[in-house]
């Protein structure tokens, strides 16, 4: 057997918050782009090591205008998923500050776009305004029902079939282990179990009353057989 090696990071430079899926023999990745445009870079690989940019999730200003967005705001932590011939991208849009939209005071909005081609073009972003969560991900259960997960913890929101609207009450299915800043929730189902996954212990933003705390981020998993709303 030929021994193969590679050097980390496999992608240098500006590729934060990677989300990767495998469809057949191909891997696809999306990354945060914050205030930069075009938004949500999409890359392709055959081996998880060699990557090539193939498109962007948002390429038109009328889909989502990022002009005037402050540094490190904008598009956070996109998630790419695939179901029944369709690619979905969910992400958080961080606003510059509290903004009243449709009667709600929001600082973050969740967005969703989809395409039948991984490189796009993708549909215009649809806003799913649940409140103030972050790090959305997409889960489709065995019965075909769609859900959005958000932090804090693993909070599950039932969606309509088009993934454009919340259609029921959310359920906090796992709070995590109790460490700081549970985020990045994902849900998988295999062999009769649901597996909830999230990260904890991230760097807390220092304030005058809260000094910097060293980051000690780890990933945790929990499993159950039944999720009840």
Residues with catalytic roles: 17, 183
Q: State yes or no: cis peptide before 121, omega within 30 of 0.
A: yes
For the record, the structure tokens of 36 come out as: 């930069």
Number of Cα atoms under 13 Å in the Cβ half of residue 152: 8
How many Å apart are CA 48 and CA 44, to the nearest integer? Answer: 9
How many Å apart are CA 182 and CA 185, to the nearest integer? Answer: 8
Question: Burial level of 225, CB count in 10 A (0-12/13-18/19+)?
Answer: exposed
Q: Is 41 helix (H, G, I), strand (E, B) or coil?
A: strand
Nearest to 54 by CA among 80, 24, 72: 80
Residue 199 β-bridge partners: 183, 219
DSSP for 191-224? TTEEEEEEEE-PPPPPBTTB-------EEEEEEE
């Amino acid at each position: 057997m030929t021994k193969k090696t590679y050097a980390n990071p496999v992608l240098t430079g500006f590729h934060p918050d990677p989300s990767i899926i495998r469809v057949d023999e191909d891997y696809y990745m999306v990354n945060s782009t914050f205030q930069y445009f075009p938004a949500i870079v999409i890359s392709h690989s055959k081996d998880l090591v060699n990557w090539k940019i193939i498109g962007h999730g948002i390429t038109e200003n009328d889909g989502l205008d990022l002009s005037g967005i402050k540094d490190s705001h904008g598009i956070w932590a996109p998630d790419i998923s695939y179901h029944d011939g369709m690619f979905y991208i969910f992400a958080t849009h961080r606003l510059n500050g509290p903004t009243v939209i449709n009667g709600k005071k929001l600082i973050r909005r969740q967005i969703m776009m989809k395409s039948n081609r991984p490189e796009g073009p993708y549909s215009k972003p649809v806003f799913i305004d649940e409140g103030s969560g972050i790090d959305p991900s997409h889960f489709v259960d065995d019965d075909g029902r769609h859900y959005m997960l958000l932090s804090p913890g693993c909070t599950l929101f039932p969606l309509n079939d088009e993934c454009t609207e919340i259609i029921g009450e959310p359920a906090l299915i796992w709070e995590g282990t109790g460490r700081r800043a549970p985020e990045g929730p994902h849900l998988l189902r295999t062999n009769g179990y649901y597996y909830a996954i999230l990260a904890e212990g991230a760097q807390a933003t220092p304030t005058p009353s809260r000094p910097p705390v060293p980051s000690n981020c780890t990933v945790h998993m929990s499993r159950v057989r039944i999720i009840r709303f």
